[in-house]
Amino acid sequence: MNNEAAFTAMATRGKRFCTKLQAACLALAVLVGLLLSNTVIAFSQETAAGVQDGEARRASVAYDGMLEVSDEETVLLLKFDGKPDYRLFFMDRPDRLVVEFNEITLGFDPEFASKNGGLVKQLRFGSITSDRSRLVVALAAAAEIRRQALEADPETGRYNLRLALGGIEQALFSQRVAEQQALLGSSGEAVVKGGRVRSGPKREGYFTIVLDPGHGGIDGGAAGRTTKIAEKEVTLAVSRLLGPMLEKAGRFHVSSTRDDDVFVSLRERQAVARRENADLMISLHADALRQTYVRGATIYTLADRASDALAQQVADSENLADVVAGLAAPEESDVVTDILADLTLRETTHFSRAFSLMLVRKMRDRVNLINNPQRAASFAVLKNAEVPSVLLELGYLSNSDDEHLMADPRWQSKVAGIVSEAVAEFFSGRQPRSTGN
C-alpha cells in the first residue's frame, strides 16, 4: 500500500472512533502525509493505529534484528515481543536513518551492531532518555524507505517491523531532509535532555564542581578489545567515586551531567555547567586511538587550533557524540560572538590551563601519563565562555594495558582520589564567588 492510500485509509477508520478534535488532528496528519508522500518522512503506521483503537500499551522488548541485502534493496527486519511504538526519520551530514522507540528495551544481540552491507554502513542502538531509545542506521549512500510493514503473529503476540531501503540521488535526499526539518524541526531539538541530573542551587560559601562522565545511553564511546568494557561505563564509574570524595574534601558542591546510563547531548552538557554557575567542569573520557601503542592519562583544554595531531584526532572523535545518537550535526560556528565573550573565554581558558597543570603535577609518578600530558583542541563540550573546563582522558581503551587498568575498580578509585586532591589543592586559599541576593 502506498503512503497516500495508507493515510487515506487511516483517516476513514479514524472517523468512527475519534472525537471532533481528534478527527481534526487526524485530518491534519492526513494532509501532511499527502503533501509529503514518497518523501523522507515515514511516520509509524502503528502509532496512528494506536490513536484510533485506544489499545493499552505495555513496554516491549526488541529481541532480534536481521539485515537482508539484495541488488534491488536493503531490508532491516526488527522483531519485538509486543506491539512497538516507533517513528522514523532521516538525517544528513552524515546520512542516517533513525528509528526512535517509546517504552521499548533494545535487547538486540551485540552481533547485530556489527552487521552491514548494501545501504547500511553501520548500526548503533541504545537509550537516549529513561523511556526512549533509538536504532541509528548510518547509511552508505542516500536512501529512502520504499516499503515498511508491521506484521503481527496473532498466536504469539509478537511483531516484526520490516523496512526496505532503496537508493536515491543525494540531491533529492538532502531536499527531503530539509522538508522534514522545516516541518518537524531538527532531531537535536526534539530530544529531551537525557538524565536524572544531580543539580541544585549554588550554595553560598561553596565551590561548584560539575562532573561530566562522557558518552552514555546509545553512545557507548570507545570499547576495550579484551574486557569489552565501554567508555561510558568507565567514565560513569569514576564520576560516581569522585563526587563523594570532593564533597568530603572541602567546600565543594558537586553536580553531574548524568548519574546513570542515559544519553546527554553536547549542548546539554554545556548547559548544565552554565545553569549550575560552575567554578570548574571536569569532563571524563577514555577514548580509543588508531595508534594502539599510545597510553596514559591526558588533560585537554580548549583551543581554536589543536596542539598536535593526536589532540585533533581525539577532538574530532568526541565532537561527533551527537551524530552517533542521531542528532543534528554540530554547528560549525564559534560560540564566541563578541569582544566581551572573547575576553571572558580567555580568562576561563587561563584558569582551565592552570588547573590542568595542577592535575598533571598530582598525577605524575602515580598513574601513567602520556608524553606531553597537557594538550589542547577545539572540544565542543569545553566551549563554555563562563565556565573553566578540562577534558580528562583517563587513558586509551585502544591500548591493552590502559584497558585493563581502567576496568579495575581499585584503579578507578585511585584516580578519583588523585583528581579530588588536585581540585582541593587548586581551590585552597581561594574564596567562593558570592551568589548575590
| Residue 50, Cβ density class (10 Å: 0-12 exposed, 13-18 middle, ≥19 buried) | middle
Going by pLDDT thresholds of 50, 70 and 90, the confidence category of residue 267 is confident
Question: Beta 389-393 vs 369-377: how paired, if at all?
Answer: unpaired
Q: Is the pTM of this model over 0.85?
A: no
**pLDDT score at 304:** 86
Q: Which helix (H) or strand (E) holds 413?
A: helix 409-427
Q: Which helix (H) or strand (E) holds 135?
A: strand 132-139
**pLDDT score at 403:** 97
Mean pLDDT computed over every residue of the chain: 81
**pLDDT score at 262:** 87
Overall average pLDDT of the 244-255 stretch: 95
The overall longest dimension of the chain from CA atoms, in Å, is: 75
**pLDDT score at 164:** 95
| Residue 330, Cβ density class (10 Å: 0-12 exposed, 13-18 middle, ≥19 buried) | middle
Q: Model confidence over 136-166: pLDDT tens digits?
A: 999 999 999 999 999 998 888 899 999 999 9
Instruction: Find the range with the poorest average confidence among 96-105, 134-143, 175-184, 224-233.
Output: 175-184
State which of 15-24, 179-188, 385-394 shows the largest mean pLDDT: 385-394
**pLDDT score at 4:** 42
CA-closest candidate to residue 280, choices 167, 403, 409, 388: 388
| Residue 103, Cβ density class (10 Å: 0-12 exposed, 13-18 middle, ≥19 buried) | middle
Torsion angle of alpha carbons 316, 297, 375, 275, nearest 10°? 70
Q: Which helix (H) or strand (E) holds 6?
A: helix 3-15
**pLDDT score at 24:** 45
Going by pLDDT thresholds of 50, 70 and 90, the confidence category of residue 321 is confident
> Would you say 264 and 257 are in contact if contact means Cβ atoms under 8 Å apart?
yes
Q: Model confidence over 37-53: pLDDT tens digits?
A: 344 444 333 333 333 34
**pLDDT score at 384:** 83
Please tell me which residue, 10 or 172, carries the higher pLDDT value: 172
Is 19 strand, coil or helix? coil
Please tell me which residue, 363 or 105, carries the higher pLDDT value: 363
